[in-house]
Amino acid sequence: MRLLVGLGNPGSRYAMTRHNVGFMAVDAIAQRYRFAPFRAKFQGVISEGAIGDGKGGDAKVLVLKPETYMNASGDSVGAAARFYKIAPGEIAVFHDDLDLADGKLRVKRGGGAGGHNGLRSLDETLGPDYWRVRIGIGHPGMKELVEAYVLQNFFAEERQWLEPLLGAIAEAAPVLVADDPQAFMSKVAHILKPNKHTAPPHPNPLPGGEREGPAKREGEGEKEK
């Protein structure tokens, strides 16, 4: 059994924000493979389904979207992991990443939270040894703009790279479920390559938001509950 977790904040207010790209990714997976309708459980909503493992069989997969707000995501994920006896190495968490350029994707097991409050909560509950699927959202350029930036909706221009990326993540999900994260990243890149689409720099989202180098999420999440 595999547990795929999307990080985000619940409610329509946050539905299309950059911080909710993890929710969007697991929604795309659940839709593509026709998972059961989401139901409330574990302080979140959960769906069940099967994804071909690339070896002629199907892997049972759970998709979870915590509804605890980002800062307490570990409460929901920890409850689900304990109930189903799922080890951290069988959990993949999809989340936004400021330190990756728009539309870039990276996967790794373990590591630090990098200032991400959702990952910090998960680390406290599960330890660090789960898989992290990092989805780049770019950086506003100044650390004092980060909190407002991640809680802002994607611009229409950004959806030109976001929607193909979410589709590619869903299409490549069987490779991730088969425990081959490097091949998963390669397949996502291969799916997107025919479009030759490179995410353009996003327009400055806030006054003074010219792009600079990556910075940590200092103060990020203070408005989240």
Catalytically annotated residues: 19
DSSP run (H or E) holding 58: strand 58-66
d(CA 61, CA 95): 18
Helix, strand, or coil (residue 154): coil
Of 215, 8, 20, give the one whose Cα is nearest residue 115. 215
For the chain, report the end-to-end CA distance as a whole number of angstroms: 31
Q: Show the tokens assigned to 206.
A: 């806030």
Cross-strand bridge partners of residue 59: 51
Cα–Cα distances in angstroms (integers) from residue 142 to residues 28, 65, 110, 145, 205, in the given order: 31, 29, 27, 6, 11
Spatial CB neighbours of 84, under 8 Å, sequence gap ≥ 6: 1, 3, 62
Q: Show the tokens assigned to 155.
A: 């611009």
d(CA 126, CA 148): 28
Q: Show the tokens assigned to 96.
A: 């936004």
What single-letter amino acid sits at 211? R
